[in-house]
């Protein structure tokens, strides 16, 4: 079984290769960028499994995953990353990736995951995929009531409508809007709504 590890960090790539090569019948090829990885796949096609670093040169986000999937002729291609979040992992899987491996994985888990994926299974660590994402720093300093008001603003509701939905007085909502604008450094309620949408909080 031949596995390709493509990662621009030499130590990460070589450490992973060392673990995998200890397994009987496993051969490991290495590449430091997407172009080299595609050349290696062409040379040894198809690879039993290709592991691509999400952030290495040439990847261009998930476009590199798409190219590798095509080049590997339907055989498994997975992402490895130390920085990509759950949403990236989910998108990669929906595009046909065989799995997603955080670089924090233990060696034994890494080997088992590679075996699963080489056999055609889909792998993504349950703890990573179900972890609660940290609250975004841009809105973490807001009170629960302020977040409710902000949600109403992003939905285009008037102060009167927000007051009705939140069981507050209209004058109280108005005060919350003023506080929100100050805390979010927004020029007005529309600007506050734009900031909130950009931060995926509401």
pLDDT value at residue 74: 87
Neighbouring residues of 104: CB distance < 8 A, sequence distance ≥ 6 = 82
* φ, ψ at 36 (rounded to 5°): -65, -35
- Give residue 56's pLDDT: 95
Block residue for tokens 């339907």? 74
pLDDT at 80: 95
Predicted pLDDT at 46: 76
Q: Which of 134, 155, 135, 164 is nearest to 197 (CA)?
A: 155
Chain region(s) in the chain for CATH 1.10.10.10? 144-198
What distance separates the 2 farthest-apart alpha carbons in the chain?
Answer: 72
Measure the CA–CA gap between 90 and 199, rounded to whole angstroms.
Answer: 19
Residue 99: predicted pLDDT: 95
Does domain 2-130 sit in CATH 3.40.50.2300? yes
Contact 99, 117 (CB under 8 A): yes
Numbered ranges of CATH 3.40.50.2300 in the chain: 2-130
CATH of 144-198, one of 3.30.200.20, 1.10.3720.10, 1.10.287.3510, 1.10.10.10: 1.10.10.10
State residue 140's pLDDT score: 64
What residues in the chain have per-residue pLDDT under 50? 132-135, 200-202
């Amino acid at each position: 079984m031949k596995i390709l590890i493509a990662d621009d960090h030499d130590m990460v790539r070589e450490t992973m290769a060392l673990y995998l090569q200890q397994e009987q019948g496993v051969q490991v090829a290495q590449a430091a960028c997407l172009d080299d990885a595609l050349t290696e796949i062409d040379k040894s096609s198809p690879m039993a499994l290709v592991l691509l670093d999400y952030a290495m040169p040439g990847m261009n986000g998930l476009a590199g995953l798409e190219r590798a999937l095509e080049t590997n002729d339907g055989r498994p291609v997975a992402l490895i990353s130390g920085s990509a979040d759950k949403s990236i992992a989910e998108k990669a899987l929906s595009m046909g990736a065989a799995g997603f491996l955080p670089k924090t994985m233990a060696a034994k888990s890494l080997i088992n995951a590679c075996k699963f994926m080489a056999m055609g299974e889909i792998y993504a660590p349950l703890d990573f995929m179900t972890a609660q994402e940290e609250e975004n720093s841009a809105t973490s300093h807001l009170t629960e009531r302020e977040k409710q008001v902000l949600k109403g603003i992003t939905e285009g509701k008037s102060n009167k409508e927000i007051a009705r939905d939140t069981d507050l007085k209209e004058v109280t909502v108005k005060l919350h809007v003023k506080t929100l604008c100050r805390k979010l450094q927004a020029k007005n309620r529309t600007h506050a709504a734009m900031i909130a949408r950009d931060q995926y909080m509401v």
